[in-house]
Structure 1
Amino acid sequence: MTSASPETLLDALKTSFAASLRAPDGVAPPAALLWTDADGHWKPLLPALMKALPELYVLGPYAPEERQGPVIWLKCIVERTLPDVSPAPELAPILYLPNVARQDLRAGGDFPAKERHLMPLVELQYRGAVWHQRNGRDWTVEAILTSEDALGLDVARDQRTRDAMLRALPLLAEEPIAALRGRRLEADDFDRLAIGDPIRDLLTWMSDREAFEGRCDAGRWATFRDVCVREFGFDPDQDGIQAAADALLHGGGKWNEVWQRFCDAPNLYPGISAVLRQARPKDLLGLVDQSRRPGLNDEREDKLRAALEAVVDLAHAQACDKIIALDEEHKERRGWVWAQIGESPYAVALEPLGRLARAARRPLGGATVEALIADYASEGWRCDRAAIEALSSLKPGNENNLVTKVVRALYEPWLDRSARRFQELLSTDGTDPAKLASGVSADRETCVLFADGLRLDLGMMLLERLEARGLKARMSHRVAPIPTVTATAKPLASPAHGACSGGADAEDFYPLIAESGKPANAQRLRDAMARQGVEVLDAEEARMAVGAEAGAWAEIGKIDSLGHSLGSLLIRQLDPEIEAIVDRIEGLLSAGWGAVRVVTDHGWLLLPGGLPKVDLPPYLVATKWARCAAVQGGSTPTVPTYPWYWNPLLRIASPPGIGAFLASTEYTHGGVSLQECVIPELIVERGEAAVAASITEISWRGMRCRVAVETNVSGLKVDLRLNWKQAKTSIVAAPKELGSTGETSLAVSDDSHEGAAASVVVFDQTGRVLDNKPTTVGEET
């Protein structure tokens, strides 16, 4: 199923029953649900189903205490004339009819003599509902396992597999389906459910003892107990979970394999963390692997939390130094298994916080405004990116937590100092802000792609994604005009900027189309470009313009609009927005454009909790936005003012530093800061050399596969699949990214794959397979 997938076969059945009983608005609910099973294949599952579904009744010999009886008894259940055994009023009875085909009921009056006892049920087809697939066929065991409307497993279609599947049906009832996904299931896979995977069973028992033991009959429990005694040296009956937890903590022998299996796929065993918290170490100092102690991880997280709380109140330089020291102290824990299951959020957040602290303690340099801009375009943007990534490390709903406060403590002083230095240099005698800004030209066979609000750090992210896809991209930067709002800045970012001129006032910050004297809004800019011979493409349109000597114009992206509507929650949307821009660029190049020039109008400031409020009396200005205001006549505000780009005789007021004229502003633009003014420009062409990757070595040590790859790019990932073309056949917890040396390792957590034919696959960020080579799982070389 594509969403809200059931965890077990029982879950899938209950969900499917409920869907069959659901009635449209205005229609009476079904009186009952008829479940026909011509071959009786579902019978082995009845004990588990009878426990889970009190409304389930079975056609058979009269045995009311077992909720079983003949047809006339079932009719009484439907009519609720037997209150002692009828279901609750809100539950429609489910009537399981073993060895009865749906065609038998549909035959109506044509029943053969031996089946005429079923005739009273015929009318329930119309007053009730019949459980069947979308195609009208009965739900078989195979269908419920393989259909995308149910469990969606990949099951082989041979008879041996079907027989093993039916034998394993009682064991499948409450088997976690997650353990069966990602590979093709064959007869041996179902048989192993009965034979058991000792390490998996042990971890499953430790993770949820009650659920595991509830799925075991006496024979299976005896087998499990015997395996534990023989292979792991403890008796689950006599020694209990405590002994297993102690053994897993200390390791040694077979228990090291148990630990490795848990580390390879910890999310399959969510209860292990709680179990290990109860473990009793014999000697803490002598414990070989301290990372096995979730309690120790908790202690260090608590200690780190307290340290982060103290950082918020430190002076900026001290705060930066403290975060860097904490990052060194706790970086080891990012490799512990507890980080994978979300139990080390502060240690994980320290990685981008450490980068933020290192960048924020370095002031931007330059004696001139041009030198300062160059320093920011070269290195300063890294501080912005680290702040965004630190905020992105938070789980949704925790945007106002401690990490956010630390980001603000590190980022805000650096941000404000940088802005004030930029404003100081921009206001020096002889500096004309308008001369720093430049317009965008259109070239033959080049499509100008306008990406709204593409800040410089996001431009760098875009560059990395483009190169990872094998595209050739060159990055440079421009300076946006003042004020850095769309109305003023977008005309300059378009090839129609030469057709624009300033008006007599700057109240709405729009220049005018010189020919008409009307504001240069989006549609008028497109019309002006079209008059210049620029081909204007609609959204998602990627056609190659024929004879368009002035190239083309296209637009994409909602970064700015999302920022205004979401505030600091914008960080959740940045990754898909960047991916959408990459896809658009690829589409334009594939359509035949020789190059794509990516431009934007302005950047922005983002600070959780809001930018500092700056007061500006309304009588001094004609228009006031968060970061800019049009000065009224000859008024002289106490805040800095700058000439409007389109008419330097008019003045624009801007708050000092990163202040805002409006309170509680988290995201905005329009002012004078490096983040708002220094914007990216990229030229993207189809790469001359394709992305290349070649698997040069595959070796196995136990169930861990080491892979070496030669490649000309970074960011590639490696997977291990049963079918190299299908990502869903992966047999590892998750693909691994290649290290800087071109090597990585993959662990197969399910021993049942040992000896299976598989393929090592190398693919790029788009999922495109670049190389694959066959291997045998677990084969020593």
Structure 2
Amino acid sequence: MKLIDLLAQEVRASAVYNSNAQVAPKVILWTDKLRQWESALPLLQAAMPELIVLGDYAPERKTGPAIWIKCVVEGVLPGVEMPADRTPIVYLPGYERRDLRAISACPESLKPLAELQYRGCWWIYSNAGRDWTVNAFLVSNNGGAGLDVAKDDKTQQVMLRVLPEVLESARDDLSNRRLEAADFNKLVSSDPVRDLLSWMNDSQACRERWESSRWQALVGICETEYHFHPEQDGELTAAELLCQRQGAWEGVWQRFLESCTHYPQLPQLLLKVQADLAASGASYPSINASEEQQLERDLNGLLQLDPAKARLSIGQLESRHAERRNWVWHALAMAPLVGVLEHLAEIANATSNTFSGTDPEEMASQYRESYWRADDHALRALAYPLSPGLQALVQGLLDLIYTPWLDGVTRNFQSLVRSKGYPGIDQVNEATAEYAVAGEAVFFVDGLRFDTAQRLAAKLQGLGEIQLDSNWAALPSVTATAKAAVTPVHDRLTGRLTDRDFEPSLADDDKDFSSHYLRKFLNEKGWQYLEEGGAGDPASNAWLQSGDIDKEGHVKGLKLAARIDTLLDEVVERAEELIAAGWRKIRIVTDHGWILTPRPMSKVDLPKHLTETRWGRCAVIKDSVDSGYQQVGWYWNSAVSIAMAPGVCSFKAGQNYDHGGLSLQECMTPVIQIRNTKAVTAVSAVTAALSDIRWLGLTCKIQAKTTAEGVLAVLRTHPADPDSEITKRKPLKDGKCSLLVDDQFEGSSAVLVLLDDQGNVLAKKPTLVGGE
């Protein structure tokens, strides 16, 4: 691991928090009274895009005064792009922690940031509250690199002078020896290609921090090997030679390709190089920039065309521009439109046919075979990282080529349901059919649409034998109705005319179905209800639920698209835990899919006096009168008549995301089965439950209840991975034991795991090393 990667990891780890007792920190504060880290800022910001710096106003470098930083942290500056999944890091050169602590004496220029210390956290050295100096980071075994660095003045001076090169070095290359001034000097003199690229990346900074001997050595090498003089010819001449890639410069170009992110300012220099007619855009960013500008103009022009012509033109643009995705400029995010064009071209191809069929099943078959890709690529296009202006352009194009197709396909499906009936009424419910006698866990994921299930199935590869099937959601496709229909206790439920909000009742009692009765009926059936993080006993069956796809869709709307992979990764992690615990089969089920449109769905009128309950995509009609819209019977009681919004319209205004309607995307749901193909050992008869975890310094005190002796306790960073153990395994005695942790893990997240003698996970609980 490179030191810069370790540094980024440790700074970000400052934001780890106990979600049971704390809220997520708003910001990580990094003070540096001595300004030791300042010389490496370009490298630090390349490794940590969430890093913003207190200083003169220069938003292109994510630098600015305190009030500007406050606005960036609060997310109210649309022109500043910050990673959505990272806690902002605020670097404060020239200040220390107590400058913020003493608010009354706090400099005026710093006061707008003072309150962030109460909503954020600090990157500080140990518990002493001191700044992390460069030397402290390099030598510390607790949150640092654990290197042996000499303390003499010369070594310390050289170390700071060549800090960027030090951070770019691998920790293994510097370990197991005493590092002195000569060792740090070798870092800067042993790689002339890196020196050349570093100088081209920021010539002024390099000249200021390099020793004269190092600079003169580079000048001599450039004259003899690269045939130019840095002082006389300048960096623009070097940029021209690099783009031309002739002779020895080809090796420099290949190095740039391998480590392009380490030279964030170099592409701006290369953009100044004018290309001739025979030049290749692969090495001339000016050509790529020109092509991007032309592509933006061409795509904007498509907004005036009809959908068919727009689709044809998108295909032609893809043929012209696809090669640019192989250029380094695409990897450096300098060609965002050509990146999203790939998804637009796939959508254009998939939506050229508003398909139908002889009945709903035939339509479903075609969708499962290929047309789900249109929805998948629409999500990927919406999720692609673009500026607000380009996002609006992409949304406009999707509204032109995707939304009409989605509406047409949905109307075709609705027409077939009207004439042929809804197939989910009389078919086997694949989500509840043929449970295994034991060893099967039914894993409910709310709002898992079929196309996202395709992604999930790909992510699950390696856990066992994966099988993706489909099922028909109970109507209307809302959680209250459809989730109840896929539970193992669905036979205990019914629907009454007096039921509200699509929630069924208990068959033997006039009470609403709730999570209390789900647990109660599961227990009566001999099933376990697994809480979050619980592994359960694979000797029986279990129900568990996780995933926030539907919730995030309702809250975030179009921003759901960028969250899909993160949400699916959480499902994969939970499945890994179950497999590690010995479950032989996992059946992933869901209640419904959803519609996501790039522009708000068209609103259609449905008079309130006709409805008992009205949602966006469906409504309960009073006394089954004719609403003027297609009506279907409620899954739990067909005497309750439900109106369905036509196409991808909505009974409510302003909806980008919704479900409950009658479409393939909402109603044809996935069922994923994972069969554990690893050697199956006898299911453990031992059970265990954690009662208490307490920390005394770096000693973890454990108390648990077990049904037999031989249970082992261990701390891991990943609960199902034995290779992530950070302590020795120790047996419980009378349900108790203590685990001692090395100080390098202090403050990091871990999981306490209880194991049987076969290594099966019996129980687990997250914790923070050293106390919470």
Q: 1:11 to 1:278 in 2, by over 3 A?
A: closer
Give yes or no for contact 2:629–2:645 (8 Å, CA) kept in 1: yes
Q: 1:432 to 1:23 in 2, by over 3 A?
A: closer
Give yes or no for contact 2:586–2:674 (8 Å, CA) kept in 1: yes
Q: 3-state SS of the aligned residue for 1:475?
A: strand
Give yes or no for contact 1:364–1:372 (8 Å, CA) kept in 2: yes
- Residue of 174, 179, 188 corresponding to 2:168: 179
Identity %: 31
Aligned AA for 1:376?
Answer: Y
- 2:533 maps to which residue? 540
Say if 2:517 is the partner of 1:490: no
Aligned AA for 2:205?
Answer: A
Deviation (angstroms), 1:181: 5.0
Deviation (angstroms), 1:265: 1.5
- 2:601 maps to which residue? 611
Deviation (angstroms), 1:217: 4.5
Give yes or no for contact 2:614–2:620 (8 Å, CA) kept in 1: yes
- 2:194 maps to which residue? 200
Deviation (angstroms), 1:394: 2.3
Q: 1:509 to 1:622 in 2, by over 3 A?
A: same
Say if 2:98 is the partner of 1:21: yes
Distance 2:320 2:152 in 1: 55
Aligned AA for 1:498?
Answer: D
Summarize the alignment of residues 254-269 of structure 1 with structure 2, pairs less than 5 Å apart. 254-269=248-263
Deviation (angstroms), 1:501: 1.0
Give yes or no for contact 1:9–1:172 (8 Å, CA) kept in 2: no
- 1:396-424, CA deviations, whole angstroms, 9 ceiling, x for partnerless residues? 86684212222232211121111111100
Say if 2:656 is the partner of 1:666: yes
Distance 1:659 1:139 in 2: 57
Aligned AA for 1:205?
Answer: W
Distance 1:346 1:339 in 2: 9
Say if 2:447 is the partner of 1:443: no
Matched pairs, number: 584
- 1:271 maps to which residue? 265
Aligned AA for 1:180?
Answer: S
Summarize the alignment of residues 285-324 of structure 1 with structure 2, pairs less than 5 Å apart. 285-287=277-279, 289-324=280-315
Deviation (angstroms), 1:167: 7.1
Q: 3-state SS of the aligned residue for 1:259?
A: helix
Distance 1:264 1:608 in 2: 37
Aligned AA for 2:651?
Answer: F
Deviation (angstroms), 1:315: 2.0
Aligned AA for 1:215?
Answer: R
Say if 2:372 is the partner of 1:381: yes
Say if 2:264 is the partner of 1:245: no
Aligned AA for 1:510?
Answer: E
- 2:230 maps to which residue? 236
Q: 1:575 to 1:205 in 2, by over 3 A?
A: same
Gaps of 5+ in 2: 1-9, 13-27, 41-90, 111-123, 681-722, 725-772
Distance 2:125 2:643 in 1: 70
Q: 3-state SS of the aligned residue for 2:639?
A: strand
- 1:562 maps to which residue? 552
Distance 1:631 1:136 in 2: 64
Deviation (angstroms), 1:305: 0.7
- 1:631 maps to which residue? 621
Aligned AA for 2:477?
Answer: T
- 1:512 maps to which residue? 505
Deviation (angstroms), 1:347: 0.6
Aligned AA for 1:185?
Answer: L
Summarize the alignment of residues 87-236 of structure 1 with structure 2, pairs less than 5 Å apart. 134=127, 142-147=135-140, 152-153=144-145, 155=147, 157=148, 165-166=155-156, 168-169=158-159, 171-173=161-163, 175=164, 178-181=167-170, 183-185=172-174, 190-195=184-189, 197-236=191-230
Deviation (angstroms), 1:488: 0.8
Distance 2:129 2:533 in 1: 40
Distance 1:656 1:228 in 2: 70
Deviation (angstroms), 1:149: 7.7
- 1:511-563, CA deviations, whole angstroms, 9 ceiling, x for partnerless residues? 111111212233323322222222222222111155x4xx2211111111111
Say if 2:451 is the partner of 1:460: no
Say if 2:671 is the partner of 1:594: no
Q: 1:252 to 1:153 in 2, by over 3 A?
A: farther
Q: 1:317 to 1:138 in 2, by over 3 A?
A: closer
Range moving further from structure 2, 194-203 or 323-332 = 194-203
Distance 1:652 1:139 in 2: 63
Aligned AA for 1:276?
Answer: L
Give yes or no for contact 1:364–1:418 (8 Å, CA) kept in 2: yes
Q: 1:557 to 1:171 in 2, by over 3 A?
A: same
Distance 2:391 2:523 in 1: 47
- 1:686 maps to which residue? 676
Give yes or no for contact 1:426–1:433 (8 Å, CA) kept in 2: no
Give yes or no for contact 1:501–1:514 (8 Å, CA) kept in 2: yes
Q: 1:339 to 1:500 in 2, by over 3 A?
A: same
Distance 2:242 2:339 in 1: 25
- Residue of 612, 630, 635 corresponding to 1:645: 635
Deviation (angstroms), 1:478: 0.4
Q: 1:656 to 1:578 in 2, by over 3 A?
A: same
Q: TM-score, normalised by structure 2?
A: 0.70
Distance 2:583 2:381 in 1: 37
Range moving further from structure 2, 10-19 or 472-481 = 10-19
Q: 1:429 to 1:388 in 2, by over 3 A?
A: closer
Distance 1:586 1:253 in 2: 51
Q: 1:601 to 1:246 in 2, by over 3 A?
A: same
Give yes or no for contact 2:630–2:644 (8 Å, CA) kept in 1: yes
Give yes or no for contact 1:611–1:665 (8 Å, CA) kept in 2: yes
- Residue of 536, 555, 573 corresponding to 1:583: 573
Give yes or no for contact 1:9–1:177 (8 Å, CA) kept in 2: no
Distance 2:132 2:304 in 1: 64
- Residue of 31, 37, 40 corresponding to 1:10: 37
Distance 1:335 1:505 in 2: 61
Q: 3-state SS of the aligned residue for 1:434?
A: coil
Deviation (angstroms), 1:433: 5.2
Q: TM-score, normalised by structure 1?
A: 0.69
Q: 1:346 to 1:11 in 2, by over 3 A?
A: same
Q: 3-state SS of the aligned residue for 2:426?
A: helix
Deviation (angstroms), 1:491: 0.9
Q: 3-state SS of the aligned residue for 2:312?
A: helix
Distance 2:108 2:502 in 1: 67
- Residue of 393, 396, 409 corresponding to 2:400: 409
Q: CA RMSD in A?
A: 3.3
Distance 2:130 2:533 in 1: 41
Aligned AA for 2:655?
Answer: T
- 2:340 maps to which residue? 349
Gaps of 5+ in 1: 30-87, 92-130, 691-724, 727-781
Give yes or no for contact 1:204–1:269 (8 Å, CA) kept in 2: yes
Distance 1:598 1:517 in 2: 30
- 1:526 maps to which residue? 519
Larger Rg: 1
Deviation (angstroms), 1:242: 2.4
Q: 3-state SS of the aligned residue for 1:292?
A: coil
Q: 3-state SS of the aligned residue for 1:239?
A: helix
- 1:140-193, CA deviations, whole angstroms, 9 ceiling, x for partnerless residues? 86434243788x4464x387x9999547335325x3555235653265862324
Give yes or no for contact 2:501–2:613 (8 Å, CA) kept in 1: yes
Q: 3-state SS of the aligned residue for 1:622?
A: strand
Q: 1:643 to 1:280 in 2, by over 3 A?
A: closer
Distance 1:304 1:136 in 2: 52
Q: 3-state SS of the aligned residue for 1:613?
A: coil
